[in-house]
Every structure is written in structure tokens, then in C-alpha cells.
Amino acid sequence: MSNSDFGLIGLAVMGQNLVLNVESRGFQVSVFNRTTATTDAFVAAHPDKKLVGTKSLEEFVQSLASPRKIMIMVKAGGPVDAVIESLIPLIDQGDIIIDGGNSLYTDTERRDKWLGDLGFRFIGAGVSGGEEGARKGPAIMPGGPASTWDVMKPIFESIAAKAEGEPCVTHIGPGGAGHYVKMIHNGIEYGDMQLICEAYNIFKAAGFSAAELATVFTDWNNGDLESYLIQITAEIFKQTDPETGNPIVDMVLDTAGQKGTGKWTIMNAVENAVVCSTINAAVEARILSSMKEKRVAASTELQGPETTLSADKAELVKKVHDALYASKIISYAQGLDLITTMSAEKDWNLDLGKIAAIWRGGCIIRARFLNDITAAYRTNPELSNLMLAPFFKDLLNGFQQNWREVVSMATLAGIPVPAFSASLGYYDSYRSAVLPANLLQSQRDFFGAHTYERTDKPRGEFFHTDWPEVIG
Ligand code: NBP
């Protein structure tokens, strides 16, 4: 039987759910997994579906209609190369391989060239939405040749989430652009999660119960902060641990894991001289959280302030709302700035309006305010920084006072707010016509004769001072 419309390799959580999604749109799907017992169990569990289970890659490839459309959904890194190497002798010129995992975009660029040189077609597609998104409609960020995207478009558009009637998938750009944008999506996700955790930590210090927290987050989800992450946070606060009867969140150990996309985002930001301080704070907060034993030991050695947090609860909710929303705008402004910079660097010609639009549904960072981000970039595709779009500028100007009060209040009470304060630091630096870098440049000239420009001379003219010698 060689008539399946689509084939998928890698039947773990994401693969299985994507297969069921594709099948539910009327396509016949062939499946293969390295451990064939998984394939057997999966196909047996869905006897009424148009699935073709295969036990070898040869059988899998033979079961697909031409040109073959093969999606790889295995662990990122070496396994993707291993699967591609095994496929190469079996497939024909013009067949399409799609890597749907969280691959590093530079790996995708390498594979794009490798497969392109051999006459095959390759798409590196970021898929976001976790298990539920994969099953019901993820956001998909495909990169590769536009002509290959045209072939894949009907399937991708049918399986993607829909937002405001538009599918949450678009051709992002050539080569590794799709996986690159997925990486930034994940970096932004890190920022969003950390900002929510800092809001929670302030409320906890102010004596909010889990039930009160559930109410706050439910209310926020009914307002301008509406988003998947705020929604699931409200649900988390409602859950009780069956063993102890305590809120489940109080029973979860405060050490966070990470798989690497946040770190990759930060490394790329530094390489491109773009500030992503909110995401950086989020990555570092996870690192610090993982040092549980060291933190416990230091907690009895290093002193904090005497002050504790006392505030009117309703007033605090309003102030933290403003601090969270303002910091979130900064985080997106930084992530989108990085995309803009890389787009120019790589000549990708990325459309930020389209990218923001596909993040409105299916993915983990889906949020009401992505409608406003989409509108901002559709109105002005050349926007230099999201903070300066009229809608967001007005919000920031309105939020900034409460934002400062929250950062000060938390700092005085010894509650760590690294992402709130990093965001505020970026905001204040960006809006400063004058920064103290005049002193910094003087220091550089002092010890290294690095020269400086003068305030009273045209830019581009460089000066040096003969500084006094310092002994000792
Ligand atoms: P995993 O990332 O846990 O990978 C498991 C799959 O990879 C299994 O099918 C396994 O086969 C296969 N595999 C491995 Br491991 N090494 C292999 C090899 N050398 N050759 C062939 N197959 C190999 O699965 P996942 O969580 O479904 O994620 C798949 C991709 O999607 C990853 O890149 C992930 O980062 C990305 N992603 C995941 C999520 C999520 O929420 N989980 C969300 C978005 C994106 P086996 O059964 O024989 O061991």
C-alpha cells in the first residue's frame, strides 16, 4: 500500500498526538517508531483511524504517496541526524523531510544544505502547544524553501490552531528561520513563566492563600492579561494534593528544570548584541532554583531586611498586575528585537506581524495581547521597538509608577524579583537620553587608550586624554 498522505517517525507524546491530529483532518498517516512495540500499541489503540503501522523504515517509506511527506518527531540533536541518515538511501528526489522537534536552528541550517545538495526537500518546523496543542491544534513555525512550504501548506494549515479565523502557521522564512523563531518563542515563554512566579512570590509573602491566588489569576485571565499561562496558573492554585490535603503547589519542590531553548536564546542575544535581560533573568532564576542545597545553607548565613511585606491586598493585586504586564511587554519587546536583528543579519526578511499572529493560538505563549502586538506590526512593519508602538507606549507610561513601587516594595522586603527589575532596568535605560557611559568610556581610555567621542564634537571623531599615571 503506497498511498498514505503523510508519514511520521517518532511516536512519543508529540508524535502520537500530531498523527491523530493529521488523521482527524482526513489524511491517511503512516507511522514508524524505533521501538516497534510502541507502534503496535499505538495503532492497536486506534483501530478506527486511517493509520498504517510499519515495522521498518523501508516499509514506512514504501507506504507513502509521492512526493513523500515525512515528519520526524524524535528527540532533538543526534537522533534527528540518525533518522535522516537512515532515510536518505530509501527516499527519492523531491521527497520532503520535515523536522518538527525543537532543533537548534544552526543544526537546521546544516540539514537544509545537506539534504538540499542531495536533491531532497527539507523543512525545519518548530511546533508549540505541548501534548494538547499537538492533538487539537498547535502553532507551527516552518522554515525552508517557499516552494516546499506551498506543498505542505494544506496539511499544516488544516492541523494548526486557529486564531481570529486565521491558521496559526505561516511560512516563517528560509533555512533555519522556523526553528529560530521557535527558539525565541521558548525564550519568551521562560520570561512569561518567571514573571508569573515573581508575582506569586510577592502575593505569597503578603499572605495570600491558594484559594485567593486562584481568584486573582482567574480574574486576570478574564482581563487584559488573558493567556494560557495565566489560565493554567489559576488551575494549579485550585488543585489539592490527595496525600496531604494541602494545595498541590505547596508540595512541589522549588527546583526548576530546563532543556536548553532559553539558554540558546540568551547565547544568541549576546552574540547579536541584543539585550534580552528579562529572558536572561528567567534562565538564571531557574539555575538559582536548582541550587536548592546551597540556598538552604545560605539562608541561615546571609541576612535579609527586617521589613516584611504588608499591603492592602486589593491594592497590591492592582500594582502587581501593572508590574507584570509592563515587564511582559519588555520581554516581548526584547525577543522581537532579537528576531528583527537576526532577520537583518541573515537576510531572512521575517514579518513580525505574521509571527505575532501565529502565536495568538495553539502555543504556550498564546495571549490576548498578541492581538495588539500583531496590530502594532501590521500598522508599522518597521517598528524599531515594541515599547514605542502607541498602544504599548501608553500602557507603559500608565504602568510605570506601580511597576517601580512593586520592585521597591519587594526589594525592601528581601523578595527576589530578578525579572521584574531586569525589565524595569531595561525600560529606564532605554528611555535615558544620557547614561553614565561617559565615565565608562573615560575609564577605557584611561587604562587602554580606547579613545572617546566628545559631547561637543560631531559623532565619529575620536579623542584621547593623557591621563595621570597611577602608582600602586
Ligand atoms: P522525546 O523528545 O522524548 O523523544 C522520544 C522519541 O525519540 C521516541 O519516539 C524515541 O524512540 C525517539 N528516538 C530517540 Br530518543 N532516539 C532515536 C534514534 N536514535 N533514532 C530514532 N528514534 C529515536 O519526544 P517528545 O517529547 O514527543 O518530543 C519530540 C520533539 O518535539 C523533541 O524535539 C521535543 O523537544 C519537541 N517538543 C516537545 C514538546 C513537548 O511538550 N513534549 C513540545 C514541543 C516540542 P523510542 O521510542 O524508540 O525510544
**Residue 33 predicted with pLDDT over 60:** yes
Around ligand 1, the residues with Cβ closer than 6 Å are 10-15, 33-35, 38, 73-76, 79, 82-83, 101-102, 127-128, 130-131
Q: What is the pLDDT of residue 471?
A: 86
**Residue 189 predicted with pLDDT over 60:** yes
| 229 and 368 Cβ atoms separated by less than 8 Å | no
Asked if residue 1 belongs to a domain, the reply is: no
Question: Which atom from ligand 1 is nearest to the alpha carbon of 13?
Answer: 27
Q: What is the CATH number of the domain that holds 363?
A: 1.10.1040.10
CA distance readout (Å), 401 to 3, 301, 329, 408? 63, 34, 15, 11
Q: Which protein residue has the closest C-alpha to ligand 1 atom 7?
A: 74
309 with 441, same domain?
no
Cα-to-centroid distance, 14 and ligand 1 (Å): 8
124 with 111, same domain?
yes
199 with 146, same domain?
no
Residue 301: left (phi > 0), alpha (psi -120 to 50), or beta? Answer: alpha
Q: Is 198 a catalytic residue?
A: no
Q: What is the pLDDT of residue 472?
A: 77
| Predicted confidence band of residue 44 (pLDDT cuts 50, 70, 90) | very high
48 with 157, same domain?
yes
130 with 242, same domain?
no
Considering the candidates 23, 69, 109, 182, report the single residue annotated as catalytic: 182
Q: Which protein residue has the closest C-alpha to ligand 1 atom 22?
A: 34
**Residue 308 predicted with pLDDT over 90:** no
Query: What is the tens place of the pLDDT at every residue in 366-424?
Result: 999 999 999 999 999 999 999 999 999 999 999 999 999 999 999 999 999 999 999 99
236 with 287, same domain?
yes
Asked if residue 452 belongs to a domain, the reply is: yes
Q: What is the CATH number of the domain that holds 54?
A: 3.40.50.720
167 with 189, same domain?
no
Q: What is the pLDDT of residue 1?
A: 54
Query: What is the tens place of the pLDDT at every residue in 430-467?
Result: 999 999 999 999 999 999 999 999 999 999 999 999 99
Q: What is the mean pLDDT of the chain?
A: 97
Query: What is the tens place of the pLDDT at every residue in 253-297?
Result: 999 999 889 999 999 999 999 999 999 999 999 999 999 999 999
Q: Which protein residue has the closest C-alpha to ligand 1 atom 15?
A: 75
CA 340, 341, 344 angle in degrees (round to 5)?
85
Q: Which protein residue has the closest C-alpha to ligand 1 atom 16?
A: 79
Query: What is the tens place of the pLDDT at every residue in 9-32?
Result: 999 999 999 999 999 999 999 999
229 with 93, same domain?
no
Angle of helix 369-379 versus helix 313-346 axis, rounded to 10? 40
139 with 69, same domain?
yes
Cα-to-centroid distance, 362 and ligand 1 (Å): 20
Cα-to-centroid distance, 208 and ligand 1 (Å): 39
Asked if residue 455 belongs to a domain, the reply is: yes
* Domain extent for 308: 182-430
Q: How many domains, the chain?
A: 3
Radius of gyration for the alpha carbons in the chain, expressed in angstroms and rounded: 25
Q: Look up residue 441 and give its amino acid.
A: Q
Q: What is the pLDDT of residue 314?
A: 96
Q: Is 461 a catalytic residue?
A: no
Q: What percent of the chain has pLDDT over 70?
A: 100
